[in-house]
Amino acid sequence: MIDIKLATVDEMLAQANILFEEHYEEIALNKQVMKLKPDEQAYRNMEKMRQIFIFSARQDDKLIGYSVNFVLNHPHYADLKLAQNDLLFIKKEFRGSRAGLRLIKETETHATSLGCKLMLWHAKENTTLAAILPRLKYGVQDIIYSKEL
């Protein structure tokens, strides 16, 4: 049985290092300029201001995935409270278990309970997440292009 529950920033920082590395190695682009180094204090500050929420996915108390999300009022649309996913990851061996879908659904439900009217996800091209989101009635909002300088 996989349990999905809210987690704190400190819990994730203490328990997720191996998963962060797996996640980074699997999907990060531009690794020569985008080094994995979470700003731990920034995440803690966001938590104090209630601008972040995290769900952990666990099997037998072992961390197998997470959904990390920012909550903010959009600067262009001051009355629009939204949730933006920062990180979504499930260990490869659990990807057929529906744990990822459960994390997405729990994230949506919690964002709604916080008063969010819009949920944003970013997905790399040609990934499972990019294939799943349209089936969950998500549409493209923006496309982000990058270039190393």
In a domain, 145, yes or no: no
141 in a structural domain: no
Beta carbons of 15 and 27 less than 8 angstroms apart: no
pLDDT given for residue 68 in this prediction: 98
pLDDT (0 to 100) of residue 146? 87
Please report which confidence band the pLDDT of residue 111 belongs to, taking 50, 70 and 90 as the band edges.
very high
Average pLDDT, the chain: 95
Structure tokens at 55: 């769900």
Residue 96 included in any domain? yes
Please give the share of the chain, as a percent, with pLDDT higher than 90.
86
Token pair, residue 123, equals: 């997905």
Supply the range of the domain harboring residue 122: 2-135
In a domain, 11, yes or no: yes
143 within a domain of the structure (yes/no): no
Evaluate whether 4 touches 99 at the Cβ level (below 8 Å). Answer: yes
Q: Domain for residue 89, yes or no?
A: yes
68, part of any domain: yes
Strand intervals (E) in the chain? 2-7, 52-59, 62-73, 81-90, 118-120
126-147 pLDDT, tens digit each: 899 999 999 999 999 988 888 8
Residue 43's CATH number: 3.40.630.30
pLDDT for 13: 94
pLDDT digits (tens, 9 = 90+) for 65-103: 999 999 999 999 999 999 999 999 999 999 988 999 999
Question: In this structure, what DSSP letter does residue 126 have?
Answer: T
Residue 106: what pLDDT? Answer: 98
- Give the total number of structural domains in the chain: 1
Residue 147 within a domain = no
